Amino acid sequence: ELKVEQNPLFLSMQEGKNYTIYCNYSTTSDRLYWYRQDPGKSLESLFVLLSNGAVKQEGRLMASLDTKARLSTLHITAAVHDLSATYFCAVDRGTSNSGYALNFGKGTSLLVTP
């Protein structure tokens, strides 16, 4: 069974500060995804990481993937209040024969305060 662990689960940070959210997974995979969820809303895709060493950046967020360490990070630079949300990482090990399924972490609830 593929297990996905995120930490921290709760994060309160001041505006302007930097922080990193970690996502570890238990079984080899080279497909990892980051999503954002606002309260009462659906999942918004942030990053799709499909190979070892992949790094993607969008605004104040940067995600990376190390498949050998089974680790992805989501780095937040100079946080602003608009980044307050819950962030999920998800891993997919499927194939076209066995089908696909996302295994999600528990999510990191981020609150950015003045």
Partner 1 sequence: KAGVTQTPRYLIKTRGQQVTLSCSPISGHRSVSWYQQTPGQGLQFLFEYFSETQRNKGNFPGRFSGRQFSNSRSEMNVSTLELGDSALYLCASSLPSYGYTFGSGTRLTVV
Q: Which residues of the chain form contacts with partner 1 (CB under 8 A)? A: 33, 35, 41-45, 48, 50, 88, 90, 94, 96-104, 106-107
Q: How far is the CB of 94 from partner 1 (least distance, A)?
A: 6
**Radius of gyration of the chain, Cα coordinates, nearest whole angstrom:** 14
For partner 1, the closer of residues 48 and 78 by Cβ is: 48
**Residue with smaller CB distance to partner 1, 19 or 94:** 94
Nearer to partner 1, 50 or 55 (CB): 50
Q: Which is nearer to partner 1, 42 or 114 (CB)?
A: 42
Name the minimum Å distance from CB 106 to partner 1.
5
Give the C-alpha separation, 111 to 104, whole Å. Answer: 20
Rounded to whole angstroms, the Cα distance separating 91 from 70 reads 10
CA 55 – CA 64 distance, rounded (Å): 4
Host H or E run for residue 102: strand 102-104
Work out whether the CA dihedral 84, 66, 102, 2 comes out positive or negative.
Answer: negative
Cβ at position 102, least distance to partner 1 in Å: 6
